[in-house]
Structure 1
Amino acid sequence: MSIDPSSIPNFGGQPEPQPQGPTGPVIPDQDLVKQLLDQMELKYVVDEEGDLAAPWEQFRTYFMFRGEGDQQVYSVRTFYDRPHAIEDKPQLLESVDDWNRRTLWPKVYTHTHDDGTVRLIGEAQMLIGQGVGLEHFVSSTVSWVRAAIEFDRWLVEQLGLEKEINDTGEPGEEE
């Protein structure tokens, strides 16, 4: 399987994906995702559990394969690192519900840690055990990554976190 590098989408003005490769169904794997991330010029690491992750400043997106045979699932899961206070959970849930009603992906939910902080997780999944079209796989992965980035921007705007982000700027910066 091969993806034409000139076809990877718009993180910097590149055209929409038009992968070249098999015309029939393929069973995607981690190597295909690595190739796609390379062509999208996104940095990635493989964690201690063997999962592929692309880190951003405020979140990490994992590209995971789970299950076997016909039940194998490809999951793109984003862990948003910004902690929220437990007192803010009702407002957070209201915002997340609004996002989930308006968009197809990622579906976002909360996770409350033992220390009382609340963090968000976004997720999109695709059943791949029977195989999928390469173009569908590439365009879905790209769309899911874009949406994960867009969700973070949207949440910052919805919750008024721009001030919080600006307040943590470098010393000497004007606010």
Structure 2
Amino acid sequence: MQNTAGFQATGFSADSVFLGRAFEKYGVRADFEQRYEYKNAVNEYTQSDYTGPHREAMTAWMTSIYDSALANAAQDRKTTPAALKTVIEAGPYSAEQALANKLIDKIGQVEEAEAEVKRRAGKGAEIVEFDQYTSDKGERTGSGKNAIAIVGGEG
């Protein structure tokens, strides 16, 4: 983590686009049959917001994902999920605080992280720009060998 960066785990979220009100306004009739209240796949076409059961199901699903992520991170950090959750949810932290709380392993610069990744990857390893990685016209269309690709994305 860079020394000027802040550490804040914001958790998980999910959203849905509900078309019920738009369909109603334009006279579109969504012709679906819903068997049970927790079978909510059709709700985005028939409702204008989450129903109680739909919200309950989404909350349970997102909580499950969060708990699983916490358990995996806690194992990596050699702590318990409850202890990690307490520390994470008390943030945000400066880089120094994140290091002191064992949320990160090192404070450094991007160039240092790139050099370490290449060192760990072994002789001949290189970092390829995303547009070059995805381009069919570029010289990099795959090595034909066993390889590890780390593809980052933002947005």
Name the TM-score class by shorter chain: under 0.3
Q: Which one has a bigger Cα radius of gyration? A: 2
Higher RCO (C-alpha 8 Å, min separation 6): 2
More helix by share: 2
- The TM-score with structure 1 as length reference comes to 0.24
More strand by share: 1
